[in-house]
């Protein structure tokens, strides 16, 4: 960045960049951070990307960024912006290439003492059932998909997986959108995007995607933890982090190109071509929203099939049916998505298209969009750390609705690029350090471990503390990893 950004401190966890800072800004930009985290955030150009968000036409309310903010494509990762659902715009860069990259948490009735001597076997068995790695092509051996299957998956999401024997009907009760976004026309998804997904249902992929075996380290809010099925310290849970794989990436690629070409048609100018957009009710806008929803459905089907494979792996290792092991989905939520939601703006309720990129919906108790199981207590928020540190279960707070359109952080957030991590860390050092801390790790590649080294990420404990301090979400359960499956 060429000049020092004007950051007005609102409180210990909130900073504002007033729209007067830049002549192109249409609204204020809010950054949730503390002073110590600011020094890390300023090392990349993510704050400039936050400012760029505020220049978008038709933006409603403030744009904001979470404490795990870092540089992304178009929007910074951690960015949230809302637009009028009829008169506003939609931007693929505000969703990201990995549409519905998200997190699913699964609880078990097992305790640490039950798995302590079986961690390596569990991870290796997961690898047997679930392909992982960049470009992993082979899905579950029993899945032989056709283009017709793909169209069903894009339309039906997790429903498709459950109907084909991968998972249970009860799973849908605790998946955001019940695992299926409506309003999908599969013709809005290119044949290339469909082809890329044919062999990727039931796969993890690479990058920061993973399956972790975790232990309940600390329960800070017992009533909420109990509602999640978390009843004791040392209980075993499984966290899945993956998204829409090649299908979602291709949808993003296709529509960023389409929208850049259509900007002149709508007489729209943007400060960064990565912010390619179109009016929501334009042909391009409606087609992208349909395709994005299809990509989200692919991701939910993917995580549902992976969950079925997790159940099979645990049943094999412990020689018991998964029901006897108490294996149940706690919650599944997206953190790369745009959704039409009702929010109060200047005292009036409006339908808005809320873009969340690397940000998690965090709706409070009483909101009609929260799954019925949690509606009276608040929506679960699932925050993974890096593979060597804590993860968290939080829940949404009422103030988040006014402060961030009901949003909070999505993870630790990178503070070092993958290339920089490769230069700084070595495979053996990272693996040995994890092993010393009681964490068994297996990866599809050495790069998958080095690029995702814990030292490449912000301190997740500080990130969630900022989100809580800002009034966005409340910490309920602290988890720690003991086994990691990486791409």
| Positions marked active-site | 410
Report how far Cα 100 is from the mean position of its chain's Cα atoms.
6
**Distance, CA of 228 to CA of 475 (rounded, Å):** 13
**Distance, CA of 276 to CA of 269 (rounded, Å):** 9
Between helices 283-318 and 119-129, what is the axis angle to 10°?
130
CB contact at 8 A, 461 and 389:
yes
**Distance, CA of 149 to CA of 294 (rounded, Å):** 13
Torsion of CA 260, 261, 267, 268, to 10 degrees: 0
Residues pairing with 82 in the sheet: 60, 354
**Distance, CA of 196 to CA of 245 (rounded, Å):** 8
- C-beta atoms surrounding 142 within 10 Å: 12
CB contact at 8 A, 481 and 436:
no
* Distance from the first to the final alpha carbon of the chain: 34
Report how far Cα 225 is from the mean position of its chain's Cα atoms.
21
CB contact at 8 A, 154 and 297:
yes
């Amino acid at each position: 960045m060429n000049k020092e950004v004007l950051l007005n401190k609102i409180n210990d966890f909130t900073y504002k960049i007033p729209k007067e800072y830049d002549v192109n800004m249409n609204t204020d930009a809010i950054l949730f951070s503390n002073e110590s985290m600011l020094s890390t955030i300023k090392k990349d150009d993510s704050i400039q990307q936050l400012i760029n968000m505020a220049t978008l036409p038709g933006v409603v309310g403030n744009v904001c960024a979470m404490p795990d903010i870092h540089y992304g494509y178009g929007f910074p990762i951690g960015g949230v912006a809302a637009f009028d659902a009829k008169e506003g715009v939609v931007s693929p860069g505000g969703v990201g290439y990995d549409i519905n990259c998200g997190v699913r948490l699964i609880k078990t009735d097992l305790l640490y003492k039950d798995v302590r001597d079986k961690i390596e076997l569990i991870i290796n068995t997961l690898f047997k059932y679930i392909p992982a790695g960049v470009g992993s092509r082979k899905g579950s051996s029993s899945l032989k998909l056709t283009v017709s299957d793909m169209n069903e998956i894009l339309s039906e999401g997790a429903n498709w997986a459950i109907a084909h024997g991968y998972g249970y009907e009860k799973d849908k009760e605790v998946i955001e959108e019940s695992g299926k976004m409506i309003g999908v026309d599969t013709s809005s998804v290119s044949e290339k995007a469909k082809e890329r997904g044919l062999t990727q249902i039931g796969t993890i992929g690479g990058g920061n995607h993973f399956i972790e075996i975790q232990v309940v380290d600390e329960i800070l809010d017992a009533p909420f933890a109990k509602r999640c099925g978390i009843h004791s310290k040392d209980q075993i849970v499984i966290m899945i982090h993956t998204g829409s794989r090649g299908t979602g990436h291709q949808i993003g690629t296709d529509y960023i190109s389409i929208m850049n070409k259509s900007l002149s048609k709508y007489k729209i100018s943007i400060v960064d071509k990565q912010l390619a957009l179109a009016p929501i009710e334009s042909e391009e806008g409606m087609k992208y929203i349909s395709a994005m929803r299809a990509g989200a459905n692919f991701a939910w089907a993917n995580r549902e099939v992976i969950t079925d494979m997790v159940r099979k792996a645990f049943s094999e290792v412990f020689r018991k049916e998964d029901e006897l092991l108490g294996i149940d989905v706690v919650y599944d939520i997206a953190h790369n998505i745009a959704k039409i939601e009702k929010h109060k703006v200047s005292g009036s309720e409006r339908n808005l298209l809320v873009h969340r990129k690397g940000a998690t919906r965090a709706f409070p108790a009483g909101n009609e969009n929260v799954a019925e199981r949690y509606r009276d207590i608040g929506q679960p928020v699932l925050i993974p750390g890096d593979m060597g540190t804590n993860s968290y279960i939080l829940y949404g707070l009422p103030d988040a609705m006014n402060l961030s359109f009901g949003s909070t952080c999505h993870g630790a957030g990178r503070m070092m690029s993958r290339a920089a991590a490769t230069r700084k860390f070595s495979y053996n050092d990272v693996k040995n350090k994890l092993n010393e801390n009681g964490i068994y790790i297996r990866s599809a590649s050495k790069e998958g471990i080095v690029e995702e080294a814990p030292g490449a990420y912000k301190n997740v404990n500080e990130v969630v503390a900022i989100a809580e301090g800002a009034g966005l979400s409340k910490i309920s359960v602290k988890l720690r990893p003991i086994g990691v499956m990486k791409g």
